């Protein structure tokens, strides 16, 4: 019966559609680039390669060239590319049920929520599809919590300069960077910005109107700046005393990136609300907003929603990722590789005056240069290595968590050559 249905489909339009799709797959990069310019909005400055497939810590372009991947889809592919457990989970779920909506219960969503709760401070989870949406949910949640408890005047959220929280109207307002906000006024009212790692600044900014303090434990897009432990414990105490909620945006630092499942575990402070996305689905889009029971109670039926949020496909992928991270030795491996990479980068700094600083935790490492970083990114690309540069001068290294010592040696070797050439 099911077979007949597929045969009927295949013999008609679907075959013609498949034929029509053949062309673009074999398109050379230059042609693809021209079509991209023509058909896609110009929101990205893309590098001149097109990635066709990946395996482990490597990706391959349309022409078959190999690249060692120290970007991992911007800290997304935590298990590397084509991890067999992730493939199996996605295939199995695709055969069973792709989507059902939140009008009904689905098992993968509940199992994923339970797994996240079992391994974090949180007691409840809301699922969505991206980092911005996760932060959007967090912003709505803390506003509603404060509104219900203290009335409509308590809505302000203190965020950090140099932060990054996303590109929706609320999250770009939360983002403490003018270049992200430029041209989109009027922004959302109720956001205040203070310098990162500056406790007195937060202390001064908190008033009876403050609903929450929101920050990344490591400012990643902002140039890889790690929050001090004393700063965070100061924030924790202050927030507790004033019943101000503490939100950690772990969209980039979560899911093992720093060597523990979440960065806060190593920083000695638990937030009231935490957001996740990027690595959560290992490449399948999914985001999550986690909170304590008391805070989560501010959302009742009908206050927040997402059609795709917590969809069975995305949740099955995330469950597979979590299983590998928790049952394998990936976190321990990430800590070791993170230390090894950091040491190599520090050695590089000792040899070269153009390297100003090396910062990070686990496999989220940044190298601040005295020169523009983009030419360095291009030089590495030409030598078959993908790295990323943020805030003009900070090279960012965010490989899959399964990266090997040999991969790191190769990166360090090529990076040294490239930087030496630019002295």
Ligand X SMILES: *Cc1c(COP(=O)(O)O)cnc(C)c1O
Residues near ligand X (CB under 6 A): 130-132, 135, 164-166, 216, 220-221, 249, 251-252, 277-278
Beta carbons within 8 Å of 144's beta carbon, 6+ residues apart: 298, 299, 303
Phi-psi category of residue 315: left, alpha or beta, with phi > 0 → left and psi -120 to 50 → alpha: alpha
Cis check: omega of the bond before 421, within 30 degrees of 0: no
CA distance 250 to 277: 8
**CB 64, min distance to ligand X, A:** 30
Residue pair 346/356 in contact by the 8 Å Cβ criterion:
no
Using an 8 Å Cβ cutoff, are 290 and 89 in contact?
no
Q: Whose Cβ is closer to ligand X: residue 277's or residue 348's? A: 277
273 φ/ψ angles, rounded to the nearest 5 degrees: -140, 140
- Shortest distance in whole angstroms from residue 278 CB to ligand X: 6
Supply the minimum distance, in Å, between the C-beta of residue 138 and ligand X: 10
Nearer to ligand X, 222 or 312 (CB): 222
Least gap, CB of 176 to ligand X (angstroms)? 12
Least distance between ligand X and beta carbon 80 (Å): 19
- Is 172 or 408 the residue whose CB approaches ligand X more closely? 172
- Going by the DSSP 8-state scheme, the letter that residue 219 receives in this structure is E
CB of 131 to ligand X, least distance (A): 2
Kindly tell me which of 131 and 399 has the beta carbon lying closer to ligand X: 131
The least distance separating ligand X from the CB of residue 249, rounded to whole angstroms, comes to 5
Query: Is 390 in a helix, a strand, or coil?
Result: strand
By the 8 A CB rule, do 420 and 390 touch?
Answer: no
CA 121 to chain centre: 20
Nearer to ligand X, 49 or 263 (CB): 263
Closest separation in Å from C-beta 259 to ligand X: 17
Which CB sits closer to ligand X, 251 or 296?
251
For ligand X, give the closer residue by CB, 135 or 306.
135
Taking CB atoms, the residue at the shortest distance from ligand X is 131
Task: Give, for 194, the enclosing helix (H) or strand (E).
Answer: strand 191-194
Between the CA of residue 94 and those of 99, 168, 232, 312, what are the distances in Å? Answer: 9, 30, 42, 9
**Residue 150 or 308: which CB sits closer to ligand X?**
308
| Cross-strand pairs, 359 | 366
Please tell me the distance from the alpha carbon of residue 411 to that of residue 162, in angstroms, as a whole number. 28
- Cα-Cα-Cα-Cα dihedral of 191, 196, 200, 206, to 10°? 20
């Amino acid at each position: 019966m099911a077979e007949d249905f597929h045969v009927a489909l295949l013999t008609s339009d679907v075959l013609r559609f498949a034929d029509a799709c053949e062309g673009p797959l074999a398109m050379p990069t230059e042609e693809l680039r021209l079509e991209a310019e023509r058909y896609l909005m110009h929101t990205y400055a893309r590098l001149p390669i097109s990635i066709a497939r990946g395996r482990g810590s490597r990706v391959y372009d349309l022409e078959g060239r190999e690249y060692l991947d120290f970007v991992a889809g911007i800290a997304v592919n935590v298990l590397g590319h084509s991890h067999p457990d992730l493939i199996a989970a996605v295939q199995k779920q695709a055969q069973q049920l792709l989507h059902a909506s939140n009008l009904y219960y689905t098992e993968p969503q509940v199992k994923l929520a339970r797994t996240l709760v079992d391994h974090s401070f949180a007691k409840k989870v809301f699922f969505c599809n991206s980092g911005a949406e996760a932060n959007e949910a967090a912003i709505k949640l803390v506003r509603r919590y404060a509104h219900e408890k203290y009335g409509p005047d308590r809505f302000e959220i203190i965020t950090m300069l140099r932060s990054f929280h996303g590109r929706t109207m609320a999250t770009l307002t939360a983002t403490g960077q003018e270049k992200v906000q430029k041209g989109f006024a009027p922004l959302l009212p109720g956001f205040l910005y203070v310098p990162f790692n500056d406790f007195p600044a937060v202390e001064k900014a908190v008033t009876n109107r403050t609903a929450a303090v929101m920050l990344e434990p490591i400012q990643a897009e902002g140039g890889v700046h790690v929050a001090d432990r004393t700063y965070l414990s100061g924030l924790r105490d202050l927030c507790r005393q004033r019943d101000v909620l503490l939100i950690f945006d772990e969209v980039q630092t979560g899911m093992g990136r720093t060597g523990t499942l979440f960065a806060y575990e190593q920083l000695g402070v638990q937030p009231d609300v935490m957001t996740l996305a990027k690595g959560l689905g290992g490449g399948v889009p999914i985001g999550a907003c986690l909170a304590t029971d008391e805070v989560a109670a501010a959302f009742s039926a009908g206050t927040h929603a997402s059609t795709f949020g917590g969809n069975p496909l995305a949740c099955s992928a995330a469950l597979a990722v979590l299983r590998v991270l928790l049952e394998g030795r990936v976190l321990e491996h990430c800590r070791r590789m993170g230390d090894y990479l950091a040491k190599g980068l520090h050695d590089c700094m000792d040899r070269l005056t153009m390297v100003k600083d090396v910062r990070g935790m686990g496999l989220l490492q940044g190298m601040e240069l005295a020169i523009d970083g983009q030419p360095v990114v291009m030089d590495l690309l030409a030598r078959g290595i993908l790295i990323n540069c943020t805030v003009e001068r900070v090279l960012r290294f965010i490989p899959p968590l399964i990266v090997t010592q040999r991969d790191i040696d190769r990166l360090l070797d090529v990076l040294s050559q490239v930087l030496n050439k630019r002295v």
